[in-house]
Structure 1
Amino acid sequence: MDQRLNFITLAVPDPSASRRFYAEGLGWEPAFEAEGEVVFFRMAPTIVLSLWRADAFEAEAGRLNREPGTAPVTLSHNVPTPEEVDSVLAEAVSAGATLLAAAEDRDWGGRSGYFADPDGYRWEVAYNPGPIGEQIMRAAGLLGERRSAG
């Protein structure tokens, strides 16, 4: 099996409400929609975020864990500067997200904060100054060949 991730599927109670948050609130463009059933957002050339109606998800993939607590999934949106962590968190909250942890400088050298979308899925917004963070930002076209000092 190749080392690859292509879909992140979130089982949501109301795909239309979830679509409003991502498309209208955050300004993301759906790549495919079956109204009230599923919405796809292309995140990168080979990665798609899928918001799938929870009962249809359960019928195909099995029973959802509906116990209280935090789902063991965090999605991450990386940004090329520490300042953008704060602005992306503010944009998400403005669109209807719940701020879970304000942005702060981390022991690992970056900056991050967390929000939950209207269905409770946790997103980390992070600036990662390390090699992997830089590679991701360069692949996304958000950095030039060299990061400037300072």
Structure 2
Amino acid sequence: MTKELWINLPVKDVARSREFYKQIGFKLNPNHPENDQMAAFLVGEKEIGLMLFTEEQFKEFSNHEIPDPRNGTSTLFSFDAESPEEVDEIARKAKEAGGTIYGEPGEKDGWMYGAGFIDPDGHRWSILYMDMSKMPKG
């Protein structure tokens, strides 16, 4: 059975993207070497793998062309936060690190608080805090 999940993303500049993800709080994976072709992170308590590859290397792995994520969204990566304040903090860090906010932090449906940002390569991410005690029943 599957033991781990890795998210693989093509990026134009590995060094720039590595720095972006470090600045928003993702942890470098100590088991992977840092180089000009890739960067590896561990995300969240379950340490999901995030692998950043140059576009050329990503094309070799996927044997497929890479669409421009700025022209359409095929995947939205989402992760949780422990509080609305943490949502605000991550959104602020994403913007300061060179990302773009596409969804300002705010409340939704009375029980969720979230924000959305775009990384330097156009990949969209959402951060969401859910207050399960306020979630509508049934």
Fold shared per TM-score above 0.5: yes
Distance 1:80 1:34, change over 3 A: closer
Equivalent of residue 28 in structure 1, options 26, 42, 45: 26
Distance 1:11 1:57 in 2: 6
Residues matched between the structures, number: 129
Which range moved further: 103-112 or 54-63? 103-112
For 1:36, what is the secondary structure of its paired residue?
coil
AA aligned to 2:11 is V
Distance 2:14 2:124 in 1: 17
Distance 1:5 1:75, change over 3 A: farther
Q: Unpaired runs of 5+ in structure 1?
A: 132-150
Distance 1:70 1:48 in 2: 24
Give the ranges of 4+ consecutive aligned residues of structure 1 lying more than 4 Å apart after TM superposition: none
Distance 1:18 1:128, change over 3 A: same
Q: Unpaired runs of 5+ in structure 2?
A: 134-138
Which residue is equivalent to 2:60?
59
* Residue 38 of structure 2 corresponds to residue 38 of structure 1: yes
For 2:85, what is the secondary structure of its paired residue?
helix
Q: How far 1:72 moved relative to its partner?
A: 1.4
Distance 1:5 1:105, change over 3 A: farther
AA aligned to 1:48 is G
Q: How far 1:96 moved relative to its partner?
A: 1.2
The answer to whether the Cα contact below 8 Å between 2:80 and 2:128 also exists between their aligned partners in 1 is: yes
Which residue is equivalent to 1:83?
85
AA aligned to 1:47 is I
Distance 1:33 1:71, change over 3 A: farther
Distance 1:84 1:105 in 2: 13
Distance 1:107 1:27 in 2: 28
Q: Percent identity?
A: 26
For 1:113, what is the secondary structure of its paired residue?
strand
Which residue is equivalent to 2:8?
9
Could you state the TM-score of these two structures normalised by the residue count of structure 2?
A: 0.80
Distance 2:126 2:119 in 1: 11
